[in-house]
Structure 1
Amino acid sequence: MERVDLLTGKQRSYLRGLANNIKPITQIGKSGITESFIKQLDDALEARELIKIHVLENSLLDTKKTANEVAKKTRAEFIQAIGNKFVIYRKSKENPKIEIPR
């Protein structure tokens, strides 16, 4: 699986700005990163492109490590991690909505 074209600092910054206003759509708990969780994220990324995920305290997962693993498994771009939330982005194949500045 090859990675999406990597984003520049400016593009990443733009997406971070957009992510400020979105709420986490799902959370990772004790069961960690399961196949069904990845499938759910795949669908969400296709529909929304930019998603925020909440890592629950009881999961004992490191937010940044988890974010990078999730990004890799969904072929998405890790945008940022703040506290126990992280943001990933993947351009929609069917219906791209977010216009990223060059």
Structure 2
Amino acid sequence: MLTSKQRGYLSGLAATIQPTVMIGKEGLSEGVVRALEHELNNRELVKLRFIASKEDRRSFSEQLAQEVHAELVRVIGNVAIFYKMAEDAEKRSINLP
């Protein structure tokens, strides 16, 4: 569980990165889950962009976070930010406050 200070810190870091995973008209699919898992394994912080489904963004994001065992940092507009600490200490690039 992230504190509000940690969420703010991660949101600041996420401001400089581009979304790498997209959710389209089909909504959540196995492909989206796999893509998010892959990105979280390569980087600790990932932005996801919603192309459609305006009303379900928060619930989709919470469900995705549970499925990939990550923290949902924030949902702002059509972008969700996810964080998952690297299991290998040598691969960790983010040090939380």
Please confirm whether the aligned pair reaches a TM-score higher than 0.5, indicating the same fold. Answer: yes
Distance 1:60 1:9 in 2: 25
Distance 2:85 2:62 in 1: 17
User: Contact between 2:65 and 2:71, CA under 8 Å: does it hold in 1?
Assistant: yes
Runs of 4+ in structure 1 over 6 Å off: none
**Cα-Cα RMSD:** 1.3
1:8-87 equivalent positions in 2, closer than 5 A:
8-57=3-52, 59=53, 62-87=56-81
Q: 3-state SS of the aligned residue for 2:47?
A: strand
Q: TM-score, normalised by structure 1?
A: 0.85
Gaps of 5+ in 1: 1-5
Q: TM-score, normalised by structure 2?
A: 0.89
Gaps of 5+ in 2: none
Distance 2:55 2:30 in 1: 17
| % same residue | 36
Higher helix proportion:
2
User: Contact between 2:54 and 2:78, CA under 8 Å: does it hold in 1?
Assistant: no
* Number of residues of Structure 1 aligned to a counterpart in Structure 2: 95
User: Contact between 1:79 and 1:88, CA under 8 Å: does it hold in 2?
Assistant: yes
Q: Aligned AA for 1:72? A: Q
